[in-house]
Amino acid sequence: MATADPALTDDRLLHETESGESYLTHGKGILSWLLTLDHKRIGVMYLIFILASFLLGGVFALLVRTELLTPARTIMDADTYNKMFTLHGAVMIFLFIIPGIPAALGNFVLPLMLGAKDVALPRLNLASLYCWISGAILALVSITVGAIDTGWTFYTPYSTTTGTAVIWMVLGVFILGFSSIFTGLNFIVTIHKMRPEGMTWFRMPLLLWGLYATAIIQVLATPVLAITLLLLVAERTLGVGIFDPSLGGDPVLFQHFFWFYSHPAVYIMILPAMGVMSEVISTFSRKHIFGYRFIAYSSIAIAILSFLVWGHHMFVSGQSGLANMIFSALTFSVAIPSAVKVFNWIATMYKGSIRLDAPMIYALAFLFLFAIGGLTGLFLGALATDIHLHDTYFVVAHFHYVMFGGTVIAFLSGLHYWWPKMFGKMYSERWARVAALLIFVGFNLTFFTQFVMGSHGMPRRYYNYLPQFTVYHQASSVGSYILALGFVVMAVYLLHSLVRGERAPRNPWGAATLEWETSSPPPAHNFDHDMLAGDPYDLDALVWDPKQKGYVRRDPSSILLHPAEAV
């Protein structure tokens, strides 16, 4: 192997890509974006749409929290409130959090991590985006023609008898499902067929294991939701009795069908987040990930077990005691792989050299919040305590700790981690810390209070409430305003970075995965050379270069399949 002078080789590599145009400038005009097959552009468009959905869902959440400042009416009537919490749930789940990490960050990063030019099926990737847009439009139509008041779970027979725009929303979710299936299918094919030379299954970055496990669930579980929703539409429009007992149907059957998708869907949300954690914690600890195989296997274990636990949403629905026992036992099994991952991440930090840049701050917040979210699941998996806590604010707090404290915080970690790669700009580290602090404090104030009021018996989805819960509700609402302020700060410094941000080096964090081996932002074709993958966590292979304000490889030729051609 040629051992050229590192600096020299490095300059040469620099010259090749960074003088050229990036994927952002490659092709001008709106059509070059709307018809693009470039996974990076599709990822960025997904990111924009998803952040817009997050804003919309967040506004609904703030309206809900504001209404709950006082019992009875504060700013809206009961029917409006019921629509607000439904829209908050539906928008956040179907438009934001399910596609969040896979479709936005995953789309951008996955081919780059493979050293590939694109995903295996670029047209399917664009189709997925258009499915998302179509589904989102239907959901928006639903909001404008009377909205929907069923809760995001669409339980029958309420959803088949209420007068609101259920069909629009349900069809929107149906189409959004295809967007999710297409992304999953694409990732499965891409990971199977396009790994570079040297990247065996157990040399894949752990984000790819997370995305792979996610994709399996997306492809296998989403069709069940699609069929369930079509049956719901058939019942509403044609009067076919499937779920409504007055037509000879069974309302609890809907719950089985719905949760058969929607419980695995929880893992569609959290698995990619866990993948992001593995990348970030290793990189910022300057340590090889600890227990790679256990983390990889645990992703697959979660994907499999996630299909077997849906009945834990139905402990008080009237399903048999035997079913309750089996589902309770299986539910606890799914806790194990999550616990293993947490221990492995902590162990990764041992003897490291830990840098507290924004992605790592969010990763630490993730460990704190996800631990609470995961551990409070134990109360809900145990039958006797779940009977009391089911459908109270305890459940609301639990899933917000997992979904927000887990997935959203990991999404923010990933967003800050890959932001320099996506846009070639650095953001203000100082303001990032301010935002992270506001979000952390606001989040805990909003949701920890909900554990306490929930265990005291405050039911969820309540417009009005008894006076003893007032203090908890008010604290929670104040927390939500602090949380929102944190996001406003974040929006400002991220947008500011696009305009005024310092130019990002190729590898600002010193990660060893391949996406950092191209320029920031990458050229349209990603890499100039065929890549050779090594150990994705061999961080010793990188060294800080003050000249570039970033990390460079000690031996740049080590990641090239044909080093001779590059020189």
Partner 1 sequence: MTYNLVASLLSAAAALQPQPKKPSFWMPPQVSTFAANVDWLFMVILGISVFFFVLIVALMIVFVIRYRHREGHVAEASPTHNLPLEVVWTAIPVAVVMVIFYLGFTSYLDMATPPANAYEVRVEGQKWKWTFTYPNGYVDENLHVPVDRPIRLVMSSADVIHSLYVPAFRIKRDVVPGRYSKEWFQATTPGEYDVFCAEYCGTGHSDMLAHVIVHPPGEFEQWLEKASNFLDTMTPVEAGRKLYQVRGCQQCHSVDGTAKIGPSFKGIFGEPQALSNGSKVTVDENYIRESILEPQAKVVAGFEPVMPTYQGRLKDPEIDALIQYIKSLAK
Residues 499-558 that bind partner 1 (CB under 8 A): 537, 539
Angle between helix 206-238 and 251-285 (nearest 10): 160
What letter represents residue 397's amino acid? A
Contacts of 280 (CB under 8 A, 6+ apart): 359, 360, 362, 363, 413, 414, 417
Helix, strand, or coil here: 350? coil
CA atoms of 565 and 379, how far apart (whole Å)? 60
Smallest distance from partner 1 to CB 384, Å: 3
Contact 284, 357 (CB under 8 A): yes
**38 is a site residue for partner 1 (CB under 8 A):** no
Complex with partner 1: residue 328 or 480, whichever CB lies closer: 328
Q: How many residues does the chain have?
A: 567
Complex with partner 1: residue 29 or 321, whichever CB lies closer: 321
Complex with partner 1: residue 70 or 134, whichever CB lies closer: 70
**70 is a site residue for partner 1 (CB under 8 A):** no
**205 is a site residue for partner 1 (CB under 8 A):** no
Pull the structure tokens for residue 11. Answer: 């300059």
Complex with partner 1: residue 377 or 521, whichever CB lies closer: 377
Smallest distance from partner 1 to CB 381, Å: 7
Burial of 323 (0-12, 13-18, 19+ CB in 10 A): middle
CA distances, 167 to each of 41, 173, 229 (Å): 32, 10, 9
Smallest distance from partner 1 to CB 84, Å: 13
In this structure, what DSSP letter does residue 408 have? I
Contacts of 140 (CB under 8 A, 6+ apart): none
**246 is a site residue for partner 1 (CB under 8 A):** yes
Site for partner 1 in 320-379 (CB under 8 A): 321, 324-325, 328-329, 332-333, 335-336, 339-340, 342-344, 346-347, 349-356, 364, 367-368, 371-372, 375-376, 378-379
Site for partner 1 in 252-291 (CB under 8 A): 252, 285-291
Complex with partner 1: residue 187 or 394, whichever CB lies closer: 394
Complex with partner 1: residue 98 or 361, whichever CB lies closer: 361
- The binder of partner 1 chosen from 36, 228, 283, 392 (CB under 8 A): 392
CA distances, 12 to each of 19, 424, 515 (Å): 11, 19, 18
**155 is a site residue for partner 1 (CB under 8 A):** yes
Complex with partner 1: residue 29 or 163, whichever CB lies closer: 163
Complex with partner 1: residue 134 or 317, whichever CB lies closer: 317
Smallest distance from partner 1 to CB 143, Å: 19
Complex with partner 1: residue 117 or 456, whichever CB lies closer: 456
CA atoms of 76 and 502, how far apart (whole Å)? 45
- The binder of partner 1 chosen from 6, 27, 122, 151 (CB under 8 A): 151
Smallest distance from partner 1 to CB 88, Å: 14
**Choices 202-210, 409-417, 428-436, 453-461 (CB under 8 A): range interacting with partner 1:** 453-461
Complex with partner 1: residue 150 or 513, whichever CB lies closer: 150
Name the residue among 203, 303, 270 with its Cα closest to residue 404.
Answer: 270
Helix, strand, or coil here: 357? coil
Complex with partner 1: residue 379 or 411, whichever CB lies closer: 379
Task: Kindly tell me the sign of the dihedral angle through the C-alpha atoms of 149, 154, 158, 161.
Answer: positive
Burial of 70 (0-12, 13-18, 19+ CB in 10 A): middle
Site for partner 1 in 81-100 (CB under 8 A): 82
Name the residue among 232, 90, 212, 208 with its Cα closest to residue 148.
Answer: 90
**387 is a site residue for partner 1 (CB under 8 A):** yes
CA atoms of 283 and 353, how far apart (whole Å)? 10
**391 is a site residue for partner 1 (CB under 8 A):** yes
Contacts of 543 (CB under 8 A, 6+ apart): 551, 552, 553, 554
**Choices 57-65, 389-397, 420-428, 435-443 (CB under 8 A): range interacting with partner 1:** 389-397
**Choices 125-133, 148-156, 265-273, 424-432 (CB under 8 A): range interacting with partner 1:** 148-156
Smallest distance from partner 1 to CB 255, Å: 9
Smallest distance from partner 1 to CB 85, Å: 9
Angle between helix 409-423 and 251-285 (nearest 10): 50
- The binder of partner 1 chosen from 66, 70, 455, 474 (CB under 8 A): 455
**10 is a site residue for partner 1 (CB under 8 A):** no
**Choices 133-141, 154-162, 258-266, 523-531 (CB under 8 A): range interacting with partner 1:** 154-162
Contact 307, 221 (CB under 8 A): yes
Region for residue 39 given its phi and psi (left: phi exceeds 0; alpha: psi -120 to 50; beta: otherwise): alpha
Complex with partner 1: residue 262 or 392, whichever CB lies closer: 392
Complex with partner 1: residue 121 or 349, whichever CB lies closer: 349
**55 is a site residue for partner 1 (CB under 8 A):** no
Smallest distance from partner 1 to CB 403, Å: 18
CA distances, 63 to each of 347, 469, 477 (Å): 41, 18, 10
Q: If binding means CB under 8 A, how many residues of this protein chain bind partner 1?
A: 87
- The binder of partner 1 chosen from 19, 238, 318, 546 (CB under 8 A): 318
CA distances, 485 to each of 430, 442, 445, 478 (Å): 16, 9, 13, 11
**What DSSP assignment string belongs to 294-351?**
HHHHHHHHHHHHGGG-GGGG-TTTT--HHHHHHHHHHHHHTHHHHHHHHHHHHHHHTT
What letter represents residue 421's amino acid? K
Smallest distance from partner 1 to CB 340, Å: 5
- The binder of partner 1 chosen from 59, 308, 452, 475 (CB under 8 A): 452
Residue 535 CA to its chain's centroid (Å): 26
Site for partner 1 in 460-489 (CB under 8 A): 460-466
